[in-house]
C-alpha cells in the first residue's frame, strides 16, 4: 500500500488531496462533501475490526468505509 492512499495515513496527521479516482456515484458524493484536490484532510480515528474511518475535511466530518477511502489519493504534509 503506497503512502499516497488516504486509508494508509496515520491518525492525526494532515495531508492534502491529490486527486480522487472513484466511480461516479462515490466521486460526486465526495465532491459534494468538499473532497477536492488541494484540500487538507486528516483521519480522526479508525474503527476496530476493519470498520470505517472518521475523516475531517475543513469544517466537515464524515465516516467512510476503508475501501471507499482508497479512492482518495493524498500527499502527506
Partner 1 sequence: MTNTVNCNKCNPDSSPLLDVMSTDGLKQIAVLGMPNTGKSTFFNRLTGANASIGNWPGITVDLLAAKIKLGQQQTQVVDLPGIYDLRGFSEDEEVVRRFLESNPVHLVIIILNSTQLDRQISLALQVKHLGLPALLLLNMADEAPKFGVHIDVDQISQRLQMPAFQISAKYGQGFAQAKSLIAERLGLQSEPVLAGVVNRNLVSDEQFTAEMSDLIAHGFEVSTQFKNTLTTKLDRVLLHPVFGLPIFFGAMYLMFQVVYTIGKPLQDGLNQGVEWFKGAAVEPLLSFLPKFPHDLLIDGLYGGVGTVAAFIPVIWIFFICMAIVEDSGYLSRSAYLMDAFMERLGLDGRSFVMSLMGFGCNVPAIMGLRVMRSPALRLLSMLVIPFSLCSARLNVFIFMTTALFSASAAPAVLFSLYLFSFAAAILTAFIFKGKYPNQEPLVLELPPYRFPTIRQMLLRAWLETQHFLRFAWKFIILGVVAIWLCNNLPQNVEPASAGTISGMIGNFLQPVLAPVGISPKLSVALIFGFIAKEIVLGGLAVIYAVKEDTGLAGVIAKDIDWVQAYSFMLFTLLYVPCLSTVAVIKAESKSSKFALLAVVWSLGLAWAASFVFYQGARALGY
Q: Is residue 2 at the binding interface for partner 1, with CB under 8 A as the rule?
A: no
* Choice from 28, 75, 76, 77 touching partner 1 (CB under 8 A): 28
- DSSP secondary-structure letter at 26? H
Shortest Cβ 23–partner 1 spacing (Å): 9
* Distance of alpha carbon 77 from alpha carbon 74, whole angstroms: 9
**What are the distances in angstroms from CA 30 to CA 39, 48, 49?**
12, 23, 24
Q: Is residue 12 at the binding interface for partner 1, with CB under 8 A as the rule?
A: no
User: Which residues make beta-bridge pairs with 5?
Assistant: 73
* Distance of alpha carbon 43 from alpha carbon 10, whole angstroms: 7
Shortest Cβ 30–partner 1 spacing (Å): 7
Shortest Cβ 71–partner 1 spacing (Å): 9
**Count residues contacting partner 1 (CB under 8 A)?**
29
Amino acid at each position: 500500500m503506497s503512502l499516497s492512499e488516504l486509508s494508509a495515513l496515520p491518525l492525526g496527521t494532515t495531508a492534502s488531496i491529490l486527486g480522487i479516482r472513484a466511480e461516479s456515484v462515490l466521486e460526486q458524493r465526495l465532491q459534494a462533501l468538499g473532497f477536492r484536490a488541494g484540500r487538507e484532510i486528516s483521519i480522526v480515528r479508525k474503527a476496530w475490526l476493519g470498520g470505517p474511518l472518521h475523516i475531517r475535511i475543513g469544517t466537515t466530518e464524515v465516516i467512510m468505509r476503508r475501501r471507499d477511502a482508497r479512492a482518495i489519493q493524498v500527499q502527506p504534509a
